[in-house]
Amino acid sequence: MHILIVEAPFYTHIAAMQRDGVTDALKAAGATWDVISVPGALEIPAAIAFADASGQYDGYVALGCVIRGETYHFEVVAGESARAIMALTLDGLAIGNGILTVENEAQAIARADKTQKNKGGEAAAAALAMVGLKQRFA
């Protein structure tokens, strides 16, 4: 399996932890991968759609982190990025959603760190599982 990791590295240290979890999981599964970066979580679904048109990838892992701030922006970014990723999955794309939506940096670190909650590794496992399911029904 060849997977594309699409990351929005706004918080570079959190993105690095997430990516470590993803690549460990993909390596363990014998998958290969590429990584691209986009400006923010809202751009992740579009990048996945662009990449899917190329036919180069079996599945995708979306990585980002949205931390609640003082404005409504958190709700827009968290909700719309999740909605767009779900729309792509309903169109038949195999995507593991690893976009963290948290209240603070401590929660983000706990979820990104592969020695703690390892949500990046979980997103990779989800993508691989969905690729397998898609292949089963092809």
The answer to whether 108 is a known ligand-binding residue is: no
Residue found under tokens 């593991």: 96
Q: What strand order describes the sheet that includes 95-102?
A: 32-37, 2-7, 59-67, 95-102
Residue 13 appears among annotated catalytic residues: no
* CA–CA distance, 44 with 138 (Å, rounded to integer): 26
Give first-to-last CA distance, the chain, whole Å.
Answer: 15
> Does 82 appear as a known binding residue?
no
Question: What tokens does 11 get?
Answer: 């918080």
Known binder of ligand: residue 71?
yes
Would you say 80 is a known binding-site residue?
no
Q: What is the C-alpha to C-alpha distance for residues 70 and 135, in angstroms, rounded to an integer?
A: 44
Does 66 count as an annotated binding residue? Answer: yes
Residue 103 annotated as binding site: no
Collapsed DSSP state (helix, strand, coil) of residue 128: helix
Say if residue 41 carries a ligand binding annotation. Answer: yes
- 118 annotated as belonging to a binding site for a ligand: no
Catalytic residue among 2, 13, 27, 73: 73
**Amino acid present at 133:** L
Question: Which residues are catalytically annotated?
Answer: 73
- Residue ranges for the known binding site for 5-amino-6-(D-ribitylamino)uracil are 10, 41-43, 65-67, 97
- Residue ranges for the known binding site for (2S)-2-hydroxy-3-oxobutyl phosphate are 70-71, 111
- Residue ranges for the known binding site are 10, 41-43, 65-67, 70-71, 97, 111
